[in-house]
Amino acid sequence: MRSRAWIAMLALTVAAACTREVVPATPEAPMPAPVPAAAERAPEWREAVTRVAEKAERGVVQIRTARVLGVDEDSLWSAHHFGLARRVDNVGSGIVYRADGVILTNDHVVRGAGRILVTLPGGQTMEAHVIGSDRLTDLALLKVDASGLEVLRLAADAKPAVGEWVVTVGSPFGLAGSVSAGVVSAIGRKDMGLQRYERFIQTDAAINQGNSGGPLLDLEGRVIGINTAIMAGANGVGFAIPADMAGEIAEALLKDGSVGRGYLGVRIQDPTTTCSAYLRRVPRAEGGVLVNRVFEDGAAHAGGVREMDVMLDFDAAALRNSTHLQNVVAEAPPGTEHRITLWRDGREIVVPVSLKPFPNDDESDSIIVKRETDRIGAMVRETKRTNRDTAVTEPAVAVDHVAIGSPADLAGLAAGDVIVDIEDRKITSRAVYDQMLRSLPKGGLALMLVDRAGAEVHLAVALPGLKRRLHGR
């Protein structure tokens, strides 16, 4: 009897538990909607990419160029006669900027081209000419004799976010209309050593040779950037010029054929904490720009700026870093008046400057830069090394920085390397190093012996220029 009573009690308890009402902890809060599984969201993502690709392909063109390398105009006939000249065909991409046949692309796609052919989305190929180009941002405008083209508009107000999905369309390796997708890896990339003015969008969407000048689009089909470069030796690291910068340059080229920029005439860097302390406690923990050199032909010299001044404000706007100053000055027209707040000898002073026109010479050193690289794209300093054979400490030259994509980078030179000799000549000082670089012929190869963490390796660096590129690759 006791066992039956126990079983009955257990049954009632279980029944009560099974029928007990479950009360939410917060009855007023709605239950969250179920999150779609990845498999359910995939079709939506695929459809978005497809829509963007279909729209973009109607406004993307293929660009082919041809040029002859290795000769000057005076020797063109003899070079062809003896079979020394080399014709180089290049391929790139571009977007329709205006319906009447204006095309936006990269400057490096068409620079030095003897002939430019543009293939429109409908398949028609026609010759193009350059309206204007800007080497410092690597952008150019072309014109073809066409009308009624579908325009891909630059989204100047776009604010791409890291992790956002993006699409590229272009002609990698000449394969027109190729589409790839990826994400925004970073924004505001600078100091890459690719261009004078840098504020890149970084993406892992496939960008290859031939994609240059093509669009980087968001999933709404807006052009948020112009693809321009990849990191040498890396996969999935590409860079695009942001749409707002591309649009400003394109409009300037359309109007004047060139970009008018202000010229301050200083060489600068971001001040380190120890520099700030040395300069008697610069009043701001962050920001400011240290002046390394003032050029006599510049606006800064005329206004009274000195070496070792720290620039704090430009027209009362705080300067975040050297790149910020560089962009502010570049956007200001020549001849405009400005006021710069400086930190000098423990106090603030304000000086007036009237910006001068930016020098026409692309190789001019009178441009504000953070890193000054040499002919092969390296920065070096004097150091000491221990000779492995004699155990004697001797003077040498060490590499501090190598610009991405430069001849030094492509040859394998890296920061920390010690240059032992160039073309069998011992490198014992910065002066000897500079002299050797100047003496080597353009377009040739320079053999370097490098001490890398105690191991000696040889590197062959291709020197910029054309004169020795006569016998092909």
Q: Could you read off the pLDDT of 241-300 as tens digits, one per residue?
A: 999 999 999 999 998 888 888 889 888 887 766 666 666 667 766 778 888 889 888 899
Assess if residue 256 is contained within a domain. Answer: no
**What per-residue string of b and e applies to 430-449 under the rule 16 or more CB within 10 Å gives b?**
eebbeebbeebeebeebebb
Question: Which tokens in the block code for residue 61?
Answer: 């063109």
Task: From residue 221, give the alpha-carbon distance in Å to each of 53, 153, 159.
Answer: 8, 10, 14
Distance (Å, whole) CA 349 – CA 472? 58
Per-residue confidence band for 75, with pLDDT thresholds at 50, 70 and 90 = very low
- What's the average model confidence in pLDDT over 142-155? 93
- What's the average model confidence in pLDDT over 22-47? 51
Per-residue confidence band for 8, with pLDDT thresholds at 50, 70 and 90 = very low
Question: Which tokens in the block code for residue 164?
Answer: 């956002």
Domain final position from 80, 113, 143: 143
What total number of domains does the chain contain? 3
pLDDT at position 243: 93
Helix (H) or strand (E) holding 360: none
Per-residue confidence band for 154, with pLDDT thresholds at 50, 70 and 90 = very high
Per-residue confidence band for 106, with pLDDT thresholds at 50, 70 and 90 = very high
* Tokens 């790139």, residue located: 92
Read off φ and ψ for residue 114, nearest 5 degrees. Answer: -85, -25
Distance (Å, whole) CA 365 – CA 374? 11
Residues 349, 281 share a domain:
yes
Distance (Å, whole) CA 397 – CA 386? 12
pTM value?
A: 0.59
- Catalytic residues, by residue number, are 108, 138, 212
Assess if residue 6 is contained within a domain. Answer: no
More confident residue, 159 or 46: 159
Q: Cβ contacts of residue 214 below 8 Å, gap of 6+?
A: 60, 92, 93, 94, 95, 168, 169, 170, 171, 226, 227
Checking if the pLDDT of 180 tops 70, the result is yes
Distance (Å, whole) CA 299 – CA 356? 6
453: exposed, middle or buried (C-beta count within 10 Å: 0-12, 13-18, 19+)? exposed
Assess if residue 85 is contained within a domain. Answer: yes
Checking if the pLDDT of 10 tops 70, the result is no
Domain final position from 143, 176, 206: 143
**What per-residue string of b and e applies to 118-156 under the rule 16 or more CB within 10 Å gives b?**
bbbbeeeeeebebbbbbebbbbbbbbbebeebeebebbe
Task: From residue 311, give the alpha-carbon distance in Å to each of 47, 254, 290, 340, 459.
Answer: 51, 34, 6, 7, 41
Residues 273, 350 share a domain:
yes
pLDDT at position 277: 65
Per-residue confidence band for 7, with pLDDT thresholds at 50, 70 and 90 = very low
Checking if the pLDDT of 368 tops 50, the result is no
pLDDT at position 370: 38
- What's the average model confidence in pLDDT over 164-181? 88
Residues 350, 272 share a domain:
yes
Residues 402, 333 share a domain:
no
Residues 453, 402 share a domain:
yes
Residues 385, 351 share a domain:
no
Report the CATH number that the domain containing residue 434 is assigned in CATH: 2.30.42.10
Which residue spans within 27-74 are E strands per DSSP? 60-69
- What's the average model confidence in pLDDT over 133-145? 91
Mind giving me the DSSP string for 415-473?
A: TT-EEEEETTEE--SHHHHHHHHHHSPTT-EEEEEEEETTEEEEEEEEPSSSTT--S--
Percent of the chain, pLDDT > 90? 28
Checking if the pLDDT of 84 tops 50, the result is no
322: exposed, middle or buried (C-beta count within 10 Å: 0-12, 13-18, 19+)? buried
Assess if residue 29 is contained within a domain. Answer: no
Residues 416, 351 share a domain:
no
Residues 350, 398 share a domain:
no
Residues 389, 322 share a domain:
no
Distance (Å, whole) CA 373 – CA 440? 17
Question: Which tokens in the block code for residue 382?
Answer: 């004097």
Closest CA to 104 of 237, 287, 226: 226
pLDDT by residue (tens digit) across 195-226?
666 788 999 888 888 889 999 999 988 999 99
Assess if residue 211 is contained within a domain. Answer: no
Checking if the pLDDT of 355 tops 60, the result is yes
Percent of the chain, pLDDT > 70? 76
Checking if the pLDDT of 11 tops 60, the result is no
The two beta strands, 356-357 and 418-422, are unpaired
Distance (Å, whole) CA 95 – CA 140? 11
Full domain range(s) for residue 411: 378-462
Judge whether 380 and 285 are in contact, CB under 8 Å. Answer: no
Residues 74, 128 share a domain:
yes
DSSP state of 154: B
Which residue spans within 52-138 are E strands per DSSP? 60-69, 86-98, 102-105, 115-119, 125-127, 129-134
Distance (Å, whole) CA 129 – CA 110? 10
Domain final position from 101, 120, 143: 143
DSSP state of 151: P
Assess if residue 181 is contained within a domain. Answer: no
Assess if residue 21 is contained within a domain. Answer: no
Per-residue confidence band for 113, with pLDDT thresholds at 50, 70 and 90 = confident
Q: Note the residue count of the chain.
A: 473
Question: Which tokens in the block code for residue 294?
Answer: 């003032």
pLDDT at position 78: 37
Report the CATH number that the domain containing residue 68 is assigned in CATH: 2.40.10.120
Read off φ and ψ for residue 331, nearest 5 degrees. Answer: -80, -10
Per-residue confidence band for 372, with pLDDT thresholds at 50, 70 and 90 = low
pLDDT by residue (tens digit) across 331-352?
888 889 999 999 888 889 999 9
Checking if the pLDDT of 417 tops 90, the result is no
Assess if residue 156 is contained within a domain. Answer: no
pLDDT at position 149: 94
Distance (Å, whole) CA 169 – CA 217? 8
pLDDT by residue (tens digit) across 35-74?
454 445 556 777 888 888 888 889 999 999 876 544 443 3
DSSP state of 341: E
pLDDT at position 366: 30
* Tokens 């410092």, residue located: 136
